[in-house]
Amino acid sequence: MEGKLLLDTLGAITIGISGLCIIAGLVFIKKNLREYHKRSMITASFFALIFVALYLIKNALYPPEKYMGPYRGLFLTILWSHTILALVNFPLAVVTLFYGLKGLHHKHRKVAPITAFVWIYVAFTGWLIYVFMRWLNP
C-alpha cells in the first residue's frame, strides 16, 4: 500500500473509531453508566488526535488531491460543511472534555449535546469524503 493511501485509510479508520466511541458514550450516559461514558469519550478524543496527526503528516508529505468525479457539487458541499464544523468542533471538544473532567456537570450537560452532534457529523462526513476521493474520483 502506498504512503498516501495508507495515511488516508488509517485516517478513515481512526476518525471512524472516534465517531463510534462518541455514539457509545451517548448510549452509556443515557443508561447512567458514567464511568463507561467517560472512558468512551476519552477514547474518542485519543483517536481524534491520532487522526489529526495522520492528517497533518499526509498534508505535509503529499500534495492535495482534487475531486474530479461526477458529483462535484455534492462533494464540495460535504467538504466545506465538514471542514467548517471540524474547525468548530475542536474548541467545543476541548471545552466539553474540560467541563466533564473537572466535574462541572451543569456546564458539561449544556455543551456536550452540541459537541456530540457536530463530532458525529464530522466523523460521518469524513468517511463520505474518503469514499468520494477513493472510489468516486476518476
> What string of DSSP letters covers 18-74?
HHHHHHHHHHHHHTT-HHHHHHHHHHHHHHHHHHHHHHHHHHHHS------STTHHH
Q: Which residue has the cell 462535484?
A: 72
3-class DSSP state of 104: coil
Distance, CA of 115 to chain centre: 11
pLDDT confidence of 65, banded at 50, 70, 90?
very high
The mean per-residue pLDDT over the stretch 22-38 comes to 98
Q: Judging by beta carbons within 10 Å of its beta carbon (0-12, 13-18, 19+), is residue 16 exposed, middle or buried?
A: middle
CB within 8 A of 129, min separation 6: which ones? 75, 78, 79, 82
The mean per-residue pLDDT over the stretch 59-81 comes to 96
According to the model, what pLDDT value does residue 95 have? 98
What domains are there in the chain, each with its CATH number?
A: 3-135 (1.20.120.80)
Q: Per this entry, what is the length of the chain?
A: 138
Report yes or no: 133 and 4 within 8 Å, Cβ to Cβ.
Answer: no
For 105-121, the pLDDT digits (tens) are 999 999 999 999 999 99
The mean per-residue pLDDT over the stretch 4-25 comes to 97
User: Could you give the CA distance from residue 68 to residue 109 in angstroms, rounded to a whole number?
Assistant: 42
For 35-57, the pLDDT digits (tens) are 999 999 999 999 999 999 999 99
Q: With a cut of 70, say whether residue 1 has pLDDT above it.
A: no
pLDDT confidence of 70, banded at 50, 70, 90?
very high
Tell whether the torsion through CA atoms of 59, 65, 70 and 72 is positive or negative.
Answer: positive
% residues pLDDT > 90 (the chain): 99
